[in-house]
Structure 1
Amino acid sequence: MDERILDTIRGGLIVSCQALENEPLHSSYIMQRMAVAAMYGGAVGIRANSVSDILEIRKEVKLPVIGIIKRVYDDSDVYITPSMKEVDELMTVRPEIIALDATKRMRPGKRSLEDFFAEVRAKYPEQIFMADCSTLEEGLNAAKIGFDILGTTLSGYTSYSKGSELPNMELIQQLVESGEKPVIAEGGIWTPEQLKHILGTGVLAAVVGTAITRPMEITKRFVNAIE
């Protein structure tokens, strides 16, 4: 693992620039401009979805990229980089970090995380992989099977973690205190004050997405406050 990549993002803000097909800003060019704005604003990294978005972002942005591919399969609830197909696609553009769902849910083809990631690690031994987890148990398991970074990305998004208060400070603190792997906090960070507090817990870095790059959701938040 290239520790220089971790040093580049250490203590900083990573901005998630994503828009799905059903969202108003779905466009690789628009995501590139979002990423450029984040870079000018002082972000240390970008989280991006799809090969096309990453290619477009890299034309203008030289920050480390956490790459994912969101894809739905009929036989699994896992949708963040769910199979080797998505990993292979991402490796054509070699993002500095690849994130994938590291929950206990079965993957497409009824494969376990352990079986799947053993194959991934054997195929790409030098790549940095981030585990998107929803519980402490999943984070500890991800560290055990060889992930390089632990993320709190999926807290609240699995059936058994629904209702978790976000940002999930307890999970963030538990993963940091475990000392197993560097931790990237992600999920539900809405204010600069929350970000500052989280970065003080000892995490490697933190990801903010919706609060910066999803104006439809930001607008809803304001509208809901006045209704």
Structure 2
Amino acid sequence: MTILNALKNGFVASCQPVTGGPMDHTDIIVAMARAAVDGGASGLRIEGADNLRAVRAAVSVPIIGIVKRDLADTPVRITPSVADAVALVQAGADIVAYDGTTRPMIDPHADVLRAISKGGALAMADCSTVQDAKIAVDAGAAIIGTTLSGYTDETQTDSTDPDFALVAEFAKLAAFVMAEGRYNAPDLARRAIEAGADCVTVGSAITRVEHIAQWFADAVRSATA
């Protein structure tokens, strides 16, 4: 079974705890990953080469690797350099996700994508618009994700809903479509597949306890406000 076939019509659990929070430890991330797979996750999205290496030793499902960096000279955070891409491939990533927008990165997008492919992994472009996705497909990305819709200056929104319309537009392109971004309930994940996604990534609703607790706390407090 190919990597994309393994992910098709399934969901990816993004096991990324709140940075610096009480769950932000490699052993806990490994436990999250194993629990997500036991619950039916078809794949995992893991941040950081060290975390990915540890998770790779514990599971057999496909892993999407990323590195997140907060840099002074670029708004790009996701796998912004060739060195980051190489480190993830060497740690065992089957897929490496990189920023697929037109914003400048440390290294050119083409160089990052080339490093991913040279290492034997698939490239996933985290996009914000249809134009981003078209450029990524033409460049050779195997997967296009709606990950950054709502998180760039061009697409910024106050909506808490996923971008189903963008999923439908991506589905018209010749690539594997990953719905990602604000899929925090099972019904939303189902609707993503109905809109044309091949797979859905779910993060906070599964692995960020602080966010889940706040959802419930806000809801309960609103009842007596």
Same fold (TM over 0.5): yes
Corresponding residue for 2:68? 70
**Do residues 137 (structure 1) and 135 (structure 2) align?**
no
| Partner AA of 1:59 in structure 2 | A
Q: 1:56-115, CA deviations, whole angstroms, 9 ceiling, x for partnerless residues?
A: 21232111100111122221111110001101111212311110111111112xx543x4
Corresponding residue for 2:174? 180
Q: Where in structure 2 are the equivalents of 1:1-227 lying within 5 Å?
A: 4-108=2-106, 112-113=108-109, 115-117=110-112, 119-120=114-115, 124=118, 126-163=120-157, 165=159, 166-176=161-171, 178-225=172-219, 226-227=221-222
Distance 1:185 1:96, change over 3 A: same
Distance 1:54 1:207, change over 3 A: same
TM-score (structure 1 length as normaliser): 0.90
Distance 1:105 1:85, change over 3 A: same
The runs of 4+ residues in structure 1 deviating greater than 2 Å are 19-24, 115-121
CA distance in 1, matches of 2:158, 2:139: 25
Q: 1:4-44, CA deviations, whole angstroms, 9 ceiling, x for partnerless residues?
A: 11011110011000125322211111000101110110111
Gaps of 5+ in 1: none
CA distance in 1, matches of 2:32, 2:115: 30
TM-score (structure 2 length as normaliser): 0.91
Query: What RMSD in Å do the two structures reach over aligned CA positions?
Result: 1.8
Percent of paired sites with the same residue = 32
> Would you say the 8 A contact 2:162–2:183 is kept in 1?
yes
> Would you say the 8 A contact 1:105–1:112 is kept in 2?
no
> Would you say the 8 A contact 1:155–1:161 is kept in 2?
yes
> Would you say the 8 A contact 1:140–1:180 is kept in 2?
no
CA distance in 2, matches of 1:119, 1:6: 19
Aligned residues: 220
CA distance in 2, matches of 1:112, 1:159: 20
> Would you say the 8 A contact 1:131–1:139 is kept in 2?
yes
